[in-house]
Amino acid sequence: MASDTAHSHPYHMVEPSKWPAVGSLAALTLAVGAVMFMHDAGPWVLSAGFLLLLVTFFGWWRDVVKESRAAYHTDVVRHGLRVGMVLFIASEVMFFFAFFWAFFDRTVPFLSRTALEAWPPEGVIPLETWHLPFLNTLILLTSGATVTVAHHAVQKGDNAKTALWLLFTVILGALFTCLQAYEYGHAAFSFTDGIYSSTFYLATGFHGAHVIIGTCFLIVCMFRAKAGHFTAEKHVGFEAAAWYWHFVDVVWLFLFTCVYWWGGSGYQG
Amino acid sequence: MSDAHHDHHPKGITRWLYSTNHKDIGTMYIVISMIAAILGGTMSWYIRLELMEPGIQFIDDFQFYNVLVTAHGFLMVFFVVMPAMIGGFGNWFVPMMIGAPDMAFPRMNNISFWLLAVALVLLLLSALVGAGPGTGWTVYPPLSSATFHDGPSVDFGILALHVAGASSILGAINLITTILNMRAPGMTIHRMPLFVWAILITAILLLLALPVLAGALTMLLTDRNFGTHFFDPGAGGDPVLWQHLFWFFGHPEVYIIIIPAFGIISQIVSTFSNKPVFGYLGMAYAMSAIGVVGFVVWAHHMYTIGFNVNTRAYFTLATMVIAVPTGVKIFSWLATMWGGSIKFEVPMMYAIAFIFLFVVGGVTGVTLANASADLVLHDTYYVVAHFHYVMGLAAILAMMGGYYYWIGKMCGRQYPKKLANLQFWVFVVGINILFFPQHFSGLAGMPRRIPDYPDAYAGWNFISSVGALITIVGTVLFFIVVWRTFASSEKVEANQWGEGATTLEWTVDSPAPFHTFEETPDMTGRQPAE
């Protein structure tokens, strides 16, 4: 496929694609729908935008997989894809940076003269650090180990073993999400209660959203492994998913130590 | 495969809406920037007409006045300067300067552009629905909270910034990957043209700063609509937290606007002095230092909120430190010109004007860096004059310089030289008459963001508004130049500037063919392409 071109360079000259335009339309629909939803005009436009976004993801990345199968992804292109993924994760780190800043702004007097003296604030009963949150830590750390086993398998080109250990990872990820949902359902503080709830739910909520996204990414890789897509040399999709999963894991460790453990330690009971 | 043939390219909607070509996408960025410039410029002229005399001239709805100020800021920052510099010139010339056939992710390049178009639609919607966002571009709560802006306007504004931010983050990933992964063999990092350095540093700033804004905007959105209390002191929140997050993004943002200008000016000064840039590595690392220090000075925008003395001392010192690498750049440009055989073509005139404006704005910046002086000058027209000089108009001058420098390469035609010279003088004289008096009215205490003022400020405001009228003429002349350029029958050769222009884009035909560098150039052993 790549051989019938006149050029000598190793780069991938991508054909024109409708997906950027469709994706932008999805973004417009999502944004207009979000404003309508927030001003009591119903969730329908928002849902349509979300659906169109999912269609875009599916169609766009299906094209990328096809191009990969068609050997457009040379060594140099694969290096570029890895660099791109690392940069994307760096931007995600800075997104969480904002929510940690909000948390520390309220808890560390050095950062803010109006930091609260009591944390959790009076009347807030935090979650028991060493119950569900600790169990979730163990689950996520274990999933980091299982995805590493899968990584070793893919480096040997063993797609069957890769798929199996990705399955374990996906199950652990799903278990984490379920336990997190259970925890939300049984927390003694609700979303709108005050600053403790705000920092807790947005930081852990965005982490949870990233766990779900990462799980989907791993599921895609699992099916690709089953279809025999990966080789010992070529498995950028897998690497990106594994890196993303480790990133989600590390964010959780910070959430666990700062928000759950340290942030709950001031509770006078 | 269409890329097998040099000038075979997709037609119609496929070519533009579905584009995967860095030159076409760059062109679309420049066009959207011009559209936004007309919108944002018209708003500022309306503001200046209102301020021409004391009392109320045209705008008796003060919320509308605030909406104008807000929209002007958003448009100029996110939809004029950034798209033209990074999306426009960055897209066009980064791949060509490093000898790459396109960007690393051509399809993602396209969604960066179209998301920006979506963001522009959302921003216009925010001004058109309800009362509009009268928050200023800084969107401080509680003014931006549901209590004081309860309609959908601010929500549209927040989402416009979210989408524009996503566009810029994807663009940044694309540019960094392109520069790191696609340089021609032999073009080491230390041999890249300074414009490529500038875009690399800018893209890193975008990548790290914009997600923090996205986080803050998300908090504001949930505070307004879903019952969180991040910025609500009544429930334990902190409105100052918004200021921290906003300016942690906002200060790098002003460098995102000016560092690409540094890159353009370096290319122009070197070309028309017929010399390599003086102190190439120093220039590159000065930009890097400005980028790094830009992340640790944000609180100089918030001196009036009541920091303790140590905090103010730190931010004063850190801010002044920026003057060091900035001075390295100014003196290196001057040293590049020193002893060079200078050709005063229009791009070079713009570069010299840029250096003048940037120095004026930089000097007032050192004044404002002092926490104690800033307590007096905060929110006065002195600050307005400062940032329009150092960042706003300096960037606009670099963009116009970049236009004259590269338009021959982009469209293959010669701009009308006499008209361009006239345009330069009218524009540069206009903006200086417009903004220089604002130093004086600001020192006298004239506050920002008001549609009326005491009679004592009448004189300088009148002169300033006259400057705005001259600037309108200069801007209209610019669009006439654009039209005359495209209507011109005078073709330009591949290297229209002669031996001073050493970067790779001057080795390909003018206009540059649809695909360039399908054969990778060998840069082994070549000097910094400066």
Q: What is the pLDDT of residues B248-290, one digit of tens each?
A: 999 999 999 999 999 999 999 999 999 999 999 999 999 999 9
Encoded amino acid at B156, one letter? F
pLDDT given for residue B523 in this prediction: 87
d(CA A138, nearest CA chain B) in Å: 28
pLDDT given for residue B311 in this prediction: 96
Tell me whether B214 touches chain A (CB under 8 Å): yes
User: Do the beta carbons of residue B24 and residue B458 sit within 8 Å?
Assistant: no
Band of pLDDT at residue B59, cut at 50, 70 and 90:
very high
Q: Which residues of B are catalytic?
A: 72, 102, 137, 167-168, 251, 253, 255, 266, 300-301, 326, 329, 448
Q: What is the pTM assigned to this prediction?
A: 0.96
Name the burial class of residue B419, with classes exposed (0-12), middle (13-18) and buried (19+) by CB atoms within 10 angstroms of its CB: middle
How many helices (H) and strands (E) in chain A?
A: 8, 0
Distance in angstroms (rounded) separating the CA atoms of residues A263 and B241? 19
Tell me whether B123 touches chain A (CB under 8 Å): no
**Which residues of chain A neighbour B226 with C-beta distances below 8 Å?**
38, 191-192
Is B1's pLDDT higher than 50? Answer: no
- Structure token digits, residue A68: 């990969």
pLDDT given for residue A268 in this prediction: 82
Band of pLDDT at residue A6, cut at 50, 70 and 90:
low
Distance in angstroms (rounded) separating the CA atoms of residues B239 and A80? 41
User: Do the beta carbons of residue B361 and residue B387 sit within 8 Å?
Assistant: yes
Encoded amino acid at A248, one letter? V
User: Do the beta carbons of residue B70 and residue B137 sit within 8 Å?
Assistant: yes
Distance in angstroms (rounded) separating the CA atoms of residues A247 and A152? 18
Domains detected in chain A: 1-72 (1.10.287.70), 74-264 (1.20.120.80)
Band of pLDDT at residue A217, cut at 50, 70 and 90:
very high
Distance in angstroms (rounded) separating the CA atoms of residues B413 and A267? 72
User: Do the beta carbons of residue B506 and residue B497 sit within 8 Å?
Assistant: yes
What is the rounded average pLDDT of the residues A130-134? Answer: 96
**Which residues of chain A neighbour B152 with C-beta distances below 8 Å?**
35, 38-39
Tell me whether B105 touches chain A (CB under 8 Å): yes
Is B448's pLDDT higher than 50? Answer: yes
Query: Cα–Cα distances in Å, from B468 out to A18, A219, B203, B427?
Result: 43, 59, 33, 10
Is B4's pLDDT higher than 90? Answer: no
Percent of chain A predicted with pLDDT > 70: 98
User: Do the beta carbons of residue B231 and residue B313 sit within 8 Å?
Assistant: no
Tell me whether B202 touches chain A (CB under 8 Å): no
Lowest mean pLDDT among A58-67, A230-239, B4-13: B4-13
Distance in angstroms (rounded) separating the CA atoms of residues B259 and B253? 10
User: Do the beta carbons of residue A165 and residue A153 sit within 8 Å?
Assistant: yes
- Structure token digits, residue B394: 């300096």
pLDDT given for residue B449 in this prediction: 95
For an interface test with A, give the residue of B94, B110, B245 to mutate (most A CBs within 10 A).
Answer: B110
